[in-house]
Amino acid sequence: NAGVTQTPKFRILKIGQSMTLQCTQDMNHNYMYWYRQDPGMGLKLIYYSVGAGITDKGEVPNGYNVSRSTTEDFPLRLELAAPSQTSVYFCASRLQGREHNEQFFGPGTRLTVL
Amino acid sequence: QQQVKQSPQSLIVQKGGISIINCAYENTAFDYFPWYQQFPGKGPALLIAIRPDVSEKKEGRFTISFNKSAKQFSLHIMDSQPGDSATYFCAASLRGGANNLFFGTGTRLTVIP
């Protein structure tokens, strides 16, 4: 198993551009998450999904959109990139159920908006 | 508003020493408290976790101490090694729903040889 994979690893955007961060998992996990990590702030949940076709907002959803058309993929879309979206983005997944709380994280995408 | 408060922000420990990182929370509906370890350039990985029905959990050199009445929990790393140098995050999740995690702000641990 490759686990959770994210592309790209790095990206520089200009203000106002848009892009999609890709996330794929091959563990057949129902739940998937997008976090952003800023220095000294920990990880903040952007969006999450409990299954294909079902998504919901986390703590910091403004400026982002998601979709979940398959179990494996959970792309994060940035529209009209702003400097405040400069961050490291992590995708995570886990199995459904109270006994399966462990989230498995991808390697991250480092995004800079100039 | 930070749901889980973590301290210290950074910690330097001699090899063989004990590293202690503390976290506090307010929401009594939290029922799962994991610690994640993150090395530079990598995603976080689960280290150890506890539920509030026990006061301590030990896995090798890593121990979580949990104080339900004080709403605090801590990570103890015994016999700290240079390979333990990483950033540690505590977190908490609510009962039910998608069990979303609320993370602390992280502690950068450096173990000096």
B34 in reach of chain A (CB within 8 A): yes
**Torsions phi, psi for B83 (to 5 deg):** -70, -10
> What is the predicted pLDDT for the residue at A1?
81
A6, closest residue in chain B (CA to CA)? B43
Nearest to B46 by CA among B110, B111, B113, B93: B93
State how far the Cα of B83 lies from the Cα of B37, in Å rounded to an integer. 12
Q: What is the pLDDT along chain B (113 residues), one digit of tens a residue?
A: 779 999 999 999 999 999 999 999 999 999 999 999 999 999 999 999 999 999 999 999 999 999 999 999 999 999 999 999 999 999 999 877 777 899 999 999 999 99
For residue range A63-95, list pLDDT tens digits in order: 999 999 999 999 999 999 999 999 999 999 998
Chain B environment of A48 (Cβ under 8 Å): 98, 100
Eight-class DSSP state of A85: G
The span from the first CA to the last CA of chain A, in angstroms, equals 36
If pLDDT is split at 50, 70 and 90, which confidence band does A53 have?
very high
H-type alpha helices, B18-113: none
Given a contact cutoff of 8 angstroms between Cβ atoms, the answer to whether A93 and B99 are in contact is no
For A5, name the nearest residue in chain B, comparing CA atoms only.
B43
**Residue entry with tokens 């995603």:** B43
Selecting from B32, B42, B93 the residue whose C-beta is nearest the C-beta of A107 gives: B42
State how far the Cα of B32 lies from the Cα of B29, in Å rounded to an integer: 9
Q: What is the CA radius of gyration of chain B?
A: 14
As beta bridge partners, residue B57 has B64
Disruptive mutation site among B100, B107, B108 for chain A (greatest number of A CBs within 10 Å): B100
Residue A43 has φ and ψ, to the nearest 5°, of -105, 135
